[in-house]
Structure 1
Amino acid sequence: MEKYDVDLCVIGGGSGGVRAARVAAGHGARVAIAESANFGGTCVNRGCVPKKLLVYASRFPDQFRASHAYGWSSEQATFDWKALIQHKDVEIARLERIYETNLDKAGVAIHHDHAQIIDPNTVQLARSGQRISAKTLLIATGGHPVRPAFPGADLAITSDEAFHLAELPKRVLIVGGGYIAVEFAGIFAGLGSEVTQVIRADRLLRGFDDELAELLAEHQDRRGIRLLRGQVLQRIERTPDGLRATTADGSTIDVDVVMLSMGRAPNTRGLGLPGTDVKVDEDGAIIVDVHGRTNQPSIYAIGDVTNRLNLTPVAIREGQALADRLFGGLDVPDFDYEMVPTAVFSSPEIGTVGLPEHVARTRYGNLRVLKTKFRSMAQAFAQIQDQVFIKVLIDGDTDKVVGVHLFGEGVAEMIQLIGVALTAHARWSDFRHTVALHPTIAEEIVTLRG
């Protein structure tokens, strides 16, 4: 008789948890997974996927304007927010079904329920009361938007609710300067809303390369997004005309919707962690080693609940690696969190991999910085003022490329393959020896001189 009901019990049906469950089952493990909301997690239901669909929609006005230079003419285009949201919901439902179907095909026992940890090897399901014992528990519960406590905070929305607004707001205030905030600023502005963005800091995108952040601010201003720097939201009040937001200096902003985008917090409440002595940090994130193991040998955690690098592909990679190590007996290389390609789907978008310049300068005494800024062929021809920016950081002593930062149309697609090169420890000479593909924006990377 088996000592445990299953070999692995996964708590959380987001991208990381689902990947770990499927891979472990593929290795022959007996696997159960518990999810109390939607399979696919934040990314599929309230994050990357629906956001990218809205980004696509918001870029059509730019394309309509540019089309005239290429000989196209058409009647006045109109936009239907409700149609967009309806089509988005249909697509998200389809993707969620795929996640659950793939789990079922892999032989994973699926539980639509909230799981609470009773001891280091047991969970209890809230609705059914069923207890499941497991040799290994994996926590993959993700995170949620932070809603700070201030007067009227309950009148605001977060990114979760932004995908379900009944209508497109005419006036939007976005509070925060991270990548979610700038993406939604671009979405709403592109779709026709009047957008104001309030940030506590003096620049957008903390942690990203400084020049990228300032270039994005310039382009946001060109698109009519009003950026208020060094401001703190103090309260929100309802008015006959909508909402009134007041900042710490007494300034007021009248809008229809206030969206709070002030960070995310790990989903650790209600998991029963105090009863297991699993260690968490001051933000509630589960503390793990490089392989995702907590201080309890039988309990692991991956993804946003660990607050290491909160990106869906990172959670997926962590889940894959964990399942391969524990149940496939594979020797998986440790994950280099500094070489993760990242995109910000602003308009224009950002693609970055490796170190930003301000960090690279603290590590490399002989840092070479190569950069260029220009308008692409498509932009120049259509008399569009959007720019392309390329920055490459090189360790002058070894010729190793330690960072690449891109700004412009389509750069997210470029940075994925540049990430392959940097993960393979490419030197700048490797880039320079690669034949340029003409005419493209990407060719400017390998022909860059300085």
Structure 2
Amino acid sequence: MNRDFDLIVLGAGSGGLTVAQRAARYGARVALFEPGPPGGTCVNLGCVPKKAFWFAAQLAHAQALAPDYGFEIRAGSLDWRRFRALRDGYIDGIRRRYAERLEGAGVCRIAAAARLVARDGVEAAGERYRAPQIVIATGARPRRLPLAGFELGMVSDDIFALDAAPRSVGIVGGGYVAVEFACLLRALGCGVELLIRKQLLDSFDAELVQVLAEQMRAQGIRITPQSNVCGARGEPGALLLDDRGGGAHGPYDAILWAVGRVPNSDGLGLDTVGVVRDEKGFIRVDAHQNTSVPGITAIGDVTACPALTPVAVAAGYALIERLFGGQPQAGFDYRAIPTVVFAEPPLGMIGLTEREARARHGDAVRIYRKRFVPLQYAVAGRATPTLMKLVCSGDDERVLGLHALGPGVDEMLQGYAVAMRQGLTRSQLRDAVAIHPTSSEELLLMH
């Protein structure tokens, strides 16, 4: 096999697949190194299986709501084994399609991990390969802590191997993973305690996070702030979490550690060639994904850029346009990125929080908000609120941040993200014609 290529890609997650296939379409000879299945975290241990769980949780909520609408229904529990088989079958199909696309594009796929041995070379399974351009897209993994008894708990990867719901679970953490699994496990019948060291979802708007926390508690999730967990002990079914503040939390049937993620930047030979990392191990890149070494770039979760699949994909597209598409200035604009926490209810945001906007623009910031009970709950006599918020600035009241908490916000925000990248103002929102009756119309009518 010829071991000289135009592009070498390390990692077959969303970012790596994007750059490999797009470069191949431009005629580049591409080698893609990945020891695991294609799709990376998103397909195999993240977005896709998590969202399948979330859909199951939504069906559980629908069962609970149906009697309030007049249906005679007995709520049933999830058959985890059947659900797992359906989910895994779907994921297997994604993997097959990725493999077929790589083969069809002419990408040389090598099922091995590679490490850098030169600015233009890598080594894998005892063989050396060369290319003038190397892209590192090796992603990230759940963070593991050097705590006594840490091995007694699960990390997010392990959730997808469960064949049955734990009766109770203690979740350590306050970020995306902790909140999402707290909500979906509770919906599927688990007793849940969420142990937070500092604050819940600190990158989201504090006002909406507070309302989400209230709704989580109303669902029966116990949220314990100011926790400082220092270890775990006990046996499955009777696990305890020790707290540095004294005492213990539990007992739990299971423990989930949701304490962040770390980049897969070790073992890549970065120091050998001089690729610089930050204090947390993320590869440092500039606005065009360049590392400190010419010819070596990095995208996705192995960098400190927002850890979102669409961000890795978009950055990958821009990178290949620059390297092989004849657009030397191509780059990805990191402003107004939409993101959603698939909690119950979902929490979505685009752009700046109120705190961030005031730090940058001071008194020029204006806030508009709307709190209401969505129709699907109001008809059933429930008072669960939806909250929406606009963060605007300047005489033209340009929308710097858009935040929404409630049913359906995960599907309604995409179009607003497009508009905000084009300089959306509040007057433009008010000039638009709303779709009635919907929750999304309230984003147009705030005052």
- After TM superposition, the score normalised by the length of structure 1 is 0.96
Question: Counterpart of 2:113?
Answer: 114
| Residue deviations 1:156-186 (CA, integer Å, cap 9, x gap) | 1100111112321001011000011100000
| Structure 2: distance between partners of 1:57 and 1:352 | 24
Residues 287-436 of structure 1 mapped to structure 2, 5 A cutoff:
287-330=284-327, 333-364=330-361, 365-436=363-434
Deviation larger for 325-334 or 205-214: 325-334
Question: Counterpart of 1:221?
Answer: 217
| Residue deviations 1:56-112 (CA, integer Å, cap 9, x gap) | 111222211222243422344232112111211111111111112111111111111
| Structure 2: distance between partners of 1:106 and 1:241 | 50
| Structure 2: distance between partners of 1:77 and 1:62 | 11
Structure 1 residues 240 and 273: CA distance shift in structure 2, 3 A: closer
Question: Counterpart of 1:11?
Answer: 10
Question: Counterpart of 2:261?
Answer: 264
Deviation larger for 98-107 or 76-85: 76-85
Structure 1 residues 317 and 117: CA distance shift in structure 2, 3 A: same
Partner of 1:286, secondary structure, is coil
| Residue deviations 1:412-431 (CA, integer Å, cap 9, x gap) | 11111110010111111111
Partner of 2:95, secondary structure, is helix
Partner of 1:420, secondary structure, is helix
Letter in 2 for 1:221: R
Aligned residues: 444
8 A Cα contact 2:322 2:330, kept in partner:
no
Question: Counterpart of 1:177?
Answer: 174
Partner of 1:102, secondary structure, is helix
8 A Cα contact 2:315 2:331, kept in partner:
no
Question: Counterpart of 1:211?
Answer: 207
| Residue deviations 1:381-440 (CA, integer Å, cap 9, x gap) | 112332111000111333211000000001011111110010111111111110111111
Question: Counterpart of 1:43?
Answer: 42
Partner of 1:339, secondary structure, is coil
Letter in 2 for 1:275: T
| Structure 2: distance between partners of 1:226 and 1:357 | 27
8 A Cα contact 1:321 1:332, kept in partner:
no
| Structure 1: distance between partners of 2:135 and 2:236 | 49
Residues 190-201 of structure 1 mapped to structure 2, 5 A cutoff:
190-201=187-198
Structure 1 residues 325 and 333: CA distance shift in structure 2, 3 A: closer
| Residue deviations 1:195-253 (CA, integer Å, cap 9, x gap) | 0000111x310111001111111011011000010111111112374311111122321
Partner of 1:118, secondary structure, is strand
Pick from 140, 149, 152: which aligns with 1:152? Answer: 149
| Residue deviations 1:8-65 (CA, integer Å, cap 9, x gap) | 0000000000001111111111111010112100000000010000011112222112
| Structure 2: distance between partners of 1:72 and 1:116 | 59
Question: Counterpart of 1:25?
Answer: 24
What 5-or-longer segments of structure 2 have no aligned partner?
Answer: none
| Structure 2: distance between partners of 1:76 and 1:279 | 54
| Structure 1: distance between partners of 2:243 and 2:263 | 27
Question: Counterpart of 1:242?
Answer: 238
Partner of 1:51, secondary structure, is helix
Deviation larger for 70-79 or 386-395: 70-79
Question: Counterpart of 2:160?
Answer: 163
1:136 correspondence with 2:136 = no
Partner of 1:13, secondary structure, is coil
Deviation larger for 328-337 or 339-348: 328-337
Letter in 1 for 2:232: I
What 5-or-longer segments of structure 1 have no aligned partner?
Answer: none
8 A Cα contact 1:66 1:384, kept in partner:
no
Identity, in percent, stands at: 39
Structure 1 residues 241 and 23: CA distance shift in structure 2, 3 A: closer
Quote how far apart the aligned CAs of 1:262 are. Answer: 0.7
Letter in 2 for 1:219: Q
8 A Cα contact 1:114 1:125, kept in partner:
yes
| Structure 1: distance between partners of 2:75 and 2:408 | 26
Partner of 2:162, secondary structure, is coil
| Structure 1: distance between partners of 2:238 and 2:402 | 43
Deviation larger for 18-27 or 323-332: 323-332
